[in-house]
Amino acid sequence: MGEQTLVLIKPDGLKKSLTGNVLTRLSETKLDIIGAKMVQVSRELAEEHYGHLKDKPFFEELIKYITGEYHKKKVMALVYWGEGAIKKVRDICGSTNPEEAEPVSIRGAYGRITTAGVFENVIHASENTADAEREIKLWFEPDEIIVDIYPAAEVEETKKKRRWA
């Protein structure tokens, strides 16, 4: 059965020019990319994304890391889709702690632990289907994904929107 997973190339990955390397590694999975964009991560988005880690001692540093305080203020967000997508992507990412991750994994090859104790591990990938759904809906609008993976409704909105001038 097809499933989807959220991938983020974190600010350290972008600062280190690792976008190509990461995408090449992920292409080994033969999964489809069904959404992709660059995002400047607000504190609000960061806190929502990592809400489950709010009580951890490294939370504040983690928020600074993902919002780009230490690198570039951008993240590349992607949705990968296909059979076993969550596990396939997590396997190539490697363990959360880059020092414990397989040396050939993305995190093992390119990650580091900062002196402040944050795991700068280059990439985020959803851990399970519930997280994937929560995270994809947080980072993407329905029309930014080219496959209908979750039900969506048409809503009348009068909100102001920027258009090309």
| Residues identified as active-site | 124
d(CA 4, CA 149): 8
Residue 35 forms beta bridges with which residues?
79
Is the CB of 127 or the CB of 133 nearer to Mg ion?
Answer: 127
- DSSP for residue 72: -
| DSSP SS3 for 164 | coil
Is the CB of 104 or the CB of 146 nearer to ligand UDP?
Answer: 104
- Among residue numbers 119 through 138, which ones bind ligand UDP (CB under 6 A)? 119, 121, 124, 127
96 binds ligand UDP (CB under 6 A): yes
Smallest gap from Cβ 93 to ligand UDP, in A, equals 7
- DSSP for residue 53: G
d(CA 92, CA 64): 25
Q: By CB under 6 A, name the one of 46, 62, 77, 136 that touches ligand UDP.
A: 62
Residue 83 forms beta bridges with which residues?
2
Give contact residues for ligand UDP (rule: CB under 6 A). 53, 58, 62, 96, 118-119, 121, 124, 127
